[in-house]
């Protein structure tokens, strides 16, 4: 990272973290070096950082908790803008019928905050190990709910102008694991507000505990992963198709189709980027050949390579 740039980023209210390996920033625990890490401490410092990045012509990638990313262990040249704990405030909306969260707040913390305020609607997301920004970016969902059902607005920095813009739900184009934010890398989400209903705190907690238990029972949470490896294809389920094709436990190097849940590829230990991508390619080919269904990867593949074949 350029020294002059680092000084100006710090002056703009960002924490300049410097070099970190991507394996320490992602839940799959795979990934090499990057061009350095900078974490804004507020929406304003994020906007100032964007203007600075544009001035210096620096290319960058945004990371929250890295729970939906498969990062290349050859590393990437780009800088990482980390939207994390520095931007994780959660508060009640005026009137108390919802909450507003910094994009770096964890989804789990947002669910717990809502429950403590006896607000219902966020229970479905309890256990999703990402940030609010990451959840809005991909319209995260689980157990019959999705971000789309509760979002009121999101504020995002326009990477071209460095200005903050407010998006209404209609402007976000939210559908299954999709948003306008995914279509072009143009916005950094800095906060989001959610409309929630009045409920009973104990009943909300009971539902959240039930959801967490279902996750623990079904998902391979003891191993690093990026969650569901493939999106649900129209008319079926990725995990069902993978299981039907006899791929449970299928292994390439340190990467494995989880024996507990075929929808997850896990890092059994020492998995490389090539192991994971190679395994995903084989799974995809076998599923197309045997069932005709095409599986599209759900996680973002973070690499400087021009083509991974996925």
Is residue 177 annotated as a catalytic residue, yes or no?
Answer: yes
* Residue range at the interface with ligand FAD (CB under 6 A); choices 89-97, 124-132, 197-205, 245-253: 124-132
* Residue range at the interface with ligand FAD (CB under 6 A); choices 62-70, 164-172, 204-212, 278-286: 62-70
Whether 302 contacts 72, CB under 8 Å: yes
Assign 288 to helix, strand or coil: helix
> With binding defined as CB under 6 A, does residue 225 bind ligand FAD?
yes
Out of 30, 38, 53, 69, the residue judged to bind ligand FAD by CB under 6 A: 69
Partnered with residue 101 across adjacent β-strands are 90, 192
> With binding defined as CB under 6 A, does residue 128 bind ligand FAD?
yes
Out of 9, 30, 53, 62, the residue judged to bind ligand FAD by CB under 6 A: 62
**Residue 92 has which token pair?**
């009640």
Footprint of ligand FAD on residues 234-263 (CB under 6 A)? none
Q: Which of these, 113, 142, 144, lies nearest to 128 by C-alpha position?
A: 142
Choosing from 179, 191, 225, 228, the catalytic residue is 228
C-alpha distances in angstroms, 265 versus 70, 84, 224, 268, 292?
11, 25, 9, 9, 21
Out of 38, 45, 52, 65, the residue judged to bind ligand FAD by CB under 6 A: 65
> With binding defined as CB under 6 A, does residue 111 bind ligand FAD?
no
Mention every residue, 6+ apart, whose C-beta is less than 8 A from residue 217: none
Question: What is the Cα–Cα distance from 271 to 278, expressed in whole angstroms?
Answer: 11
Choosing from 159, 177, 232, 284, the catalytic residue is 177
Residue 217, Ramachandran bin (φ over 0: left; ψ between -120 and 50: alpha; else beta): alpha
**Residue 195 has which token pair?**
């409309």
* Residue range at the interface with ligand FAD (CB under 6 A); choices 126-134, 229-237, 246-254, 275-283: 126-134
Which residues form the interface with ligand FAD (CB under 6 A)?
27, 61-69, 83, 103, 128-131, 133-135, 137-138, 140-142, 181, 188-189, 219, 221, 225-227, 300
Residue numbers annotated as active site? 177, 228, 298
């Amino acid at each position: 990272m350029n020294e002059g740039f680092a000084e100006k980023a710090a002056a703009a209210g960002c924490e300049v973290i410097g070099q970190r390996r991507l394996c320490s920033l992602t839940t799959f625990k795979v990934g090499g070096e990057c061009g350095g890490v900078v974490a804004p401490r507020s929406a304003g410092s994020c906007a100032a950082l964007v203007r600075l990045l544009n001035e210096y012509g620096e290319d960058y990638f945004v990371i929250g908790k890295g729970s939906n990313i498969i990062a290349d262990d050859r590393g990437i040249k780009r800088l990482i803008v980390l939207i994390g704990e520095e931007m994780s405030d959660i508060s009640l909306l005026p009137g108390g019928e919802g909450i507003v969260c910094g994009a770096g707040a964890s989804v789990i913390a947002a669910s717990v905050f809502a429950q403590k305020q006896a607000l219902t609607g966020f229970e479905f997301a309890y256990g999703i190990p990402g940030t609010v920004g990451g959840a809005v970016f991909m319209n995260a969902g689980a157990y019959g709910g999705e971000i789309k059902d509760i979002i009121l607005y999101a504020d995002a920095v326009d990477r071209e102008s460095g200005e903050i813009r407010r998006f209404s739900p209609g402007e976000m184009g939210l559908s299954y694991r999709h948003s306008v934010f995914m279509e072009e890398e143009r916005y950094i989400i800095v906060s989001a507000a959610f409309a929630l209903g009045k409920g009973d705190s104990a009943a909300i907690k009971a539902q959240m505990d039930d959801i967490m238990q279902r996750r623990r029972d079904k998902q391979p949470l003891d191993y690093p992963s990026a969650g569901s490896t493939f999106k649900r294809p129209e008319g079926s389920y990725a995990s069902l198709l993978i299981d039907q094709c006899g791929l449970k436990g299928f292994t390439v190097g340190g990467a494995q189709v989880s024996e507990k849940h075929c929808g997850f590829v896990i890092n059994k230990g020492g998995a490389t980027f090539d192991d994971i991508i190679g395994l995903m390619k084989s799974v995809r080919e076998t599923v197309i050949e045997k069932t005709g269904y095409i599986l599209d990867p759900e996680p973002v593949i973070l690499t400087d390579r021009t083509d991974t074949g996925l």
